[in-house]
A = this chain, B = another copy of it.
Amino acid sequence: MKKYKVIFLPDQKQVEVNEGTRLIEAGKEAGVYLNSLCGGEGVCGKCRVRIIKGKAKIDNNSVAFFTKEEIEKGYVLACQTGIREDLEILIPPESRLEEEQILSESLENKQKTWRESPPIHYSEPDWVSLHKRPSDPASLFEPLTSKIYLELPRPTIDDNIPDTGRIVRELRKKVKYPSYEIALPCLKDLFLKIRGSDWKITATLSRHNGIGQILQIEEGDTADKNYGAAVDVGTTTVVVQLVDLKTGRVIGVEGNHNQQAHYGEDVLSRIAYVCGRGSLDLLQKAVIENINVLIQTLAREKGIRSEDITSMVAAGNTTMSHILLGLMPCSIRDDPYVPTVDFYPPVSAKEVGIHINPQGIIQVLPSIASYIGGDTVAGVLACNMADRPETTCLIDIGTNGEIVIGNNEWMLSCSASAGPAFEGGDTKWGMRATRGAIEKVKIVDGKVLYETIGKAKPRGICGSGLIDLIYELAKNRILEIDARYSPSLQERRIVQGENGMEYIVAFPEETETGEALTVAQTDIDNIMRSKAAIFAAIKSLIDYAGLSFNQLERIYVAGGFGNYLNIEKAVGIGLLPDIPRECIEFVGNSSLMGARMALLSYHVFEKAIGISQSITNIELSKFALFADEYMASLYLPHIDRERLFPSVKY
């Protein structure tokens, strides 16, 4: 069969494939991932690419996705286009599935922020003596599923207990549970498996209500092949960590964009879709496909069989958790905001269609309320807030800002609708923390110094970049205290745009698109609304608890800020409270970390249930003064700077 060479731009990735291979497959082989919502059926039109060199005929069914100009320029759908000669392909930004920088607690960051809780590392699980250290949130190593190798004594006329009794008798010598249960599917061919393997087997074990559950019997010794998946089911991005359950080590991480986005950007619009004209099934399938693709990719990369992945813990907000399990989320959006469940029952992988071991356990972290989900519970776990006597605070900044305050005796939470400004929405050049996003900004002598993710040409600006920018604009008096562009300003970067004044962050010659990257007054207003909503929520919860900010021993900040958040500047714009900077810690994706901790410890998972039940959620609508706090926060840093932000000086 003939072979052809395909080069993918802008990354210059190259691959040689057989004649007739579809472009989308060639992309995958080259490590270029394309948007493909419909799974390559040619119906979603998301995998648009442009042929730069060489020729390929556009499929008749695809023409409706393009304008005449686009067809002339060489646009095709990658999933509908077979390769018949050497090609050079340009992937336009909208078709790229960029690697997320936000993915997880990245290594360098983990070192920095997780001083108190070092990465989990065990040489061997120790079942009998559980070494518990206080303030180590993941010390009770007991993965949700474990594999135990057993050599069964052969039955004799004096010892002719049933096969299952024989298994349990040996298991008891290694794991102490009060009793054991074996699921029916596991019993069907047990007779053959035991005898076919010379009475040497490996049992996959989980635990439910304290009772050992045998999920699987394998022939021979497979105890070293046991993996789990920790999943952060975000509204925007889905991230999977593959974890070796024998050692607790993370062996890989992958993320992609939540394919539900095609049915609505945020949680409310997706609920509206499901409960209006749309279908729950479609959204459930979309996110399950997200997870399956990530798991499959990781398994292939690491040379692991998917059947050896025996458990998965997912953390997500309440809506994401409901949809993942196929539960109607409709009542979440309607006053009085009641979800169907808070504690999600464990289900088998087969039951929800996750492509790991069909008998594998899927556990979704419990929610607290309609707008405080398992991702927040995961954050509380990751920061070990519920075990310490000191009062700490978790601020998770996203489209909703979730705030938890408390200690080992009490915990309060609330959720503020902040809007997507810090996640790349609501602003013209806003983008998520992916390749090409400006994540750091400094203004020195009228010059704008910035850094982009991946050192690429700027494609936009992400949350941490916006915080830096607003701070720098305020410090340089380009923005007034009321966050409006100074009208008297003489500055070549200030121009008059369609929607009022704009500040040029990067000139056309600097950017990838060749257009100027600007921040208009309307953009600033949107960011200010987000930061005001979050700060007002923190302030309201602190007041509700009868505390002041300096009584907080520590503030943990989580959210989609990539690897970087300048704490000083976040306080400087009035997003975070003005407490000593060393008491504020950016923890990145605490949802994923909490999910992994629960995956690695049944005890931590049980603690999650306890946390979800013990946190008192406060509806912001109950705070009489919330609106006042919000209005007072629409300033840089705050209308009451002297009392609330004494250390902030521009």
Contacts and interface: CB of A to CB of B under 8 A. Distances in A.
Interface of A: 155-157, 159-166, 179, 181-184, 187-192, 195, 209, 211, 325-328, 330-331, 335-343, 345, 347, 351, 367, 369-370, 619, 621-622
Contact of A338 (B155, B209, B341): B155
Contacts of A155: 336, 338
B619 A339 contact: no
A315 B328 CA distance: 40
- Give how many copies assemble into the complex: 2
B336 A187 contact: no
B337 A182 contact: no
Contacts of A163: 331, 338-341
A195 B211 CA distance: 35
A157 B331 contact: no
A365 to B, nearest CB: 15
Contacts of A157: 335-337, 619, 621-622
Contacts of A335: 157
Secondary structure type dominating chain A contacts: loop
Which 3 pairs of residues, A with B, have the shortest CB-CB distance? Answer: A191-B328, A160-B336, A157-B336
B192 A340 contact: no
A67 B2 CA distance: 67
Contacts of A337: 157, 160
B342 A184 contact: no
A234 to B, nearest CB: 22
Contacts of A184: 325-326, 345, 347, 351
A209 B343 CA distance: 19
Given A157-B622, A209-B209, A331-B191, A345 B182 contact: yes
The residue in A179, A181, A341 that gathers the most chain B C-beta atoms within 10 A of its C-beta is A341
B160 A341 contact: no
The residue in A155, A166, A192, A340 that gathers the most chain B C-beta atoms within 10 A of its C-beta is A340
Contact of A191 (B165, B181, B327, B369): B327
A190 B336 contact: no
Given A182-B341, A345-B182, A369 B160 contact: yes
Contacts of A189: 328
A163 to B, nearest CB: 5
Contacts of A166: 338
Nearest to A191: B328
A370 B191 CA distance: 14
Contacts of A351: 184
Contacts of A326: 184, 188
A159 B330 CA distance: 18
A328 B192 contact: yes
Contacts of A165: 342
A158 to B, nearest CB: 8
Contacts of A162: 338-342, 367
Nearest to A164: B341
Contacts of A343: 164
Nearest to A168: B343
Contacts of A342: 161-162, 164-165
A147 to B, nearest CB: 20
Contacts of A339: 162-163
Given A181-B345, A183-B345, A619-B157, A164 B338 contact: no
9 contacts: A157-B336, A159-B336, A160-B336, A160-B337, A160-B619, A184-B351, A188-B328, A190-B327, A191-B328
Contacts of A187: 325, 327, 340-341, 345
A178 to B, nearest CB: 9
Contacts of A328: 188-192
A345 B188 CA distance: 12
B164 A330 contact: no
A160 B370 CA distance: 9
Contacts of A336: 155-157, 159-160
A374 B181 CA distance: 18
A160 to B, nearest CB: 4
Nearest to A159: B336
Contacts of A340: 162-164, 187, 190-191
Contacts of A367: 162
A342 B345 CA distance: 28
A316 to B, nearest CB: 15
B160 A338 contact: yes
A216 to B, nearest CB: 14
Contacts of A190: 327-328, 340
Nearest to A157: B336
A163 B166 CA distance: 43
A481 to B, nearest CB: 36
A75 B336 CA distance: 72
A512 to B, nearest CB: 45
A391 to B, nearest CB: 25
The residue in A345, A351, A367 that gathers the most chain B C-beta atoms within 10 A of its C-beta is A345
A188 to B, nearest CB: 6
Contacts of A345: 181-184, 187
Nearest to A187: B327
Nearest to A190: B340
The residue in A184, A189, A330 that gathers the most chain B C-beta atoms within 10 A of its C-beta is A184
A413 B539 CA distance: 73
B209 A161 contact: no
Given A163-B339, A183-B345, 19 more contacts: A155-B336, A155-B338, A156-B336, A157-B335, A157-B337, A160-B370, A162-B340, A162-B367, A163-B338, A163-B341, A164-B340, A164-B341, A164-B343, A184-B345, A187-B340, A189-B328, A190-B327, A191-B327, A192-B328
